[in-house]
């Protein structure tokens, strides 16, 4: 790469649990960098914690470009626009419709069910002969079962919608991604129609009953919740288990003091999921502006790199070290401000339950292969692990 040439995304991930070396190098040189997306278009990459935090809540940026035909292309931007495009102009209202379903009272009521499901999966795991793929045995099935209970999705449909969400997030096959999204929205349309006629005590039914909400909005929100609550949680459970297995002294700390679990979950979330698509949250500038002295033009694609921000040495000391006692108030894993992830309470609660019970039930669990032999998923936007073989 010449001195002035944009850095090419995605960056090579040489170690599964560490920030990509080129990303770390760029971060050490400044906070804003010229890069080229995987699709070949130029963009700006923001790696400084302070700048990423500010821009996540800056209305001078948008998820969509006013002229999509001329917009710089990015896999993440294309997918998010397909999934969230209809909500772009009514973000506050859509958020207000979702927030009550993630209230502390709702999460507390759901937690006992998550605990029961987790124990059942761990019972099944205990009955298997190691080595066992922990991703397949725990990380993959739990979020599906939770979504079925919480949203009101029939259990017999769980394999279908999990396939569609995985297809929708595919970054290597655009046709497959579009077909997955179409199938997911088609399914949600039928599901919402059924809930209109047969309401139950679930999120979709309550959204249908909300005043002034039309079917297209409920369908869009249902698709968003199915994807956001499933694919990302699978990846985070796998990451959380891996980080504890790769750092046995930290796992022992949790065994000695289970009260540290909530903080440990925040640290695991800060460390972020293994993700080979290491560009960032896509935003398009609505106007000319400056970011830390760098001139940005209206229409420019700006990638807000949360992984880099969460590993910013000016905010987190020794950021690549897992420390379950760390103060993580500055973590940007779930975003910031008006775009803070509304589903964060559900993700946190599941991780707290899963990791607490996994550590307690399997205190001698260890990786069945070297970390270097584990592989990342390159086919999906959410990243995560291909498999996680463990023994005990």
Domain-wise residue ranges, the chain: 7-391
Q: Say whether the peptide bond before residue 131 is cis (omega within 30 degrees of 0).
A: yes
Residue-wise pLDDT tens digits, 150-182: 999 999 998 888 889 888 888 788 899 889 989
pLDDT at 71 over 60: yes
pLDDT digits (tens, 9 = 90+) for 5-48: 899 999 988 888 899 999 999 999 999 999 999 889 999 999 99
Extract long-range pairs of 88-96: CB within 8 Å, 24+ residues apart: 88/62, 88/63, 88/64, 91/338, 91/339, 92/338, 94/217, 94/221, 95/338, 95/342
Q: Mean pLDDT check: name the lowest of 118-122, 265-269, 334-338, 349-353.
A: 334-338
Q: How many residues does the chain have?
A: 392
On the question of pLDDT at 225 being above 60, the answer is yes
Check pLDDT > 60 for residue 185.
Answer: yes
Q: How far apart are CA 19 and CA 164, in angstroms?
A: 30
Span 87-110, average pLDDT: 88
Confidence at residue 171, expressed as pLDDT on a 0 to 100 scale: 79
CATH number of the domain at 7-391, please?
1.10.630.10
């Amino acid at each position: 790469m010449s001195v002035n040439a944009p850095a090419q995304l995605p960056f090579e991930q040489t170690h599964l649990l560490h920030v990509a070396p080129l990303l770390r190098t760029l971060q050490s040189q400044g906070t804003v960098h010229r890069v080229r997306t995987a699709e070949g278009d130029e963009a700006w990459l923001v790696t400084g914690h302070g700048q990423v935090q500010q821009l996540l809540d800056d209305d001078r940026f948008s998820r969509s470009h006013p002229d999509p035909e001329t917009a710089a292309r990015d896999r993440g931007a294309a997918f998010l626009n397909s999934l969230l495009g209809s909500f772009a102009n009514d973000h506050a209202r859509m958020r207000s419709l979702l927030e009550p379903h993630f209230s502390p009272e709702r999460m507390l009521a759901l937690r006992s069910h998550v605990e029961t499901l987790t124990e059942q999966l761990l019972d099944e795991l205990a009955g298997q002969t190691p080595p066992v793929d922990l991703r397949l045995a725990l990380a993959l099935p739990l979020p599906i079962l939770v979504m079925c209970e919480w949203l009101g999705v029939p259990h017999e449909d769980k394999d279908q919608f999990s396939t569609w969400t995985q297809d929708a997030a595919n970054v290597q096959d655009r046709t497959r991604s579009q077909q997955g999204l179409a199938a997911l929205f088609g399914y949600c349309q039928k599901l919402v129609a059924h809930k209109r006629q047969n309401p139950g005590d679930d999120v979709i039914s309550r959204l249908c009953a909300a005043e002034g909400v039309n079917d297209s909005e409920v369908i869009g929100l249902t698709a968003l919740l199915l994807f956001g609550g499933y694919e990302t949680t699978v990846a985070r459970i796998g990451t959380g288990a891996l980080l504890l297995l790769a750092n046995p002294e930290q796992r022992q700390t949790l065994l000695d003091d289970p009260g540290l679990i909530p903080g440990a979950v925040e640290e695991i979330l800060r460390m972020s999921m293994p993700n080979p698509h290491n560009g960032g949250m896509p935003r398009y500038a609505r106007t000319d502006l400056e970011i830390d002295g760098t001139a940005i033009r209206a229409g420019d694609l700006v990638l807000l790199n949360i992984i880099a921000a969460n590993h910013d040495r000016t905010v987190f000391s020794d950021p690549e070290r897992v420390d379950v006692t760390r103060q993580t108030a500055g973590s940007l894993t779930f975003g910031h401000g008006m775009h803070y992830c509304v589903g964060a309470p559900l993700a946190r609660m599941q991780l707290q339950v899963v990791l607490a019970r996994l550590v307690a039930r399997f205190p001698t669990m260890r990786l069945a292969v070297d970390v270097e032999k584990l592989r990342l998923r390159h086919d999906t936007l959410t990243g995560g692990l291909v498999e996680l073989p463990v023994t005990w």
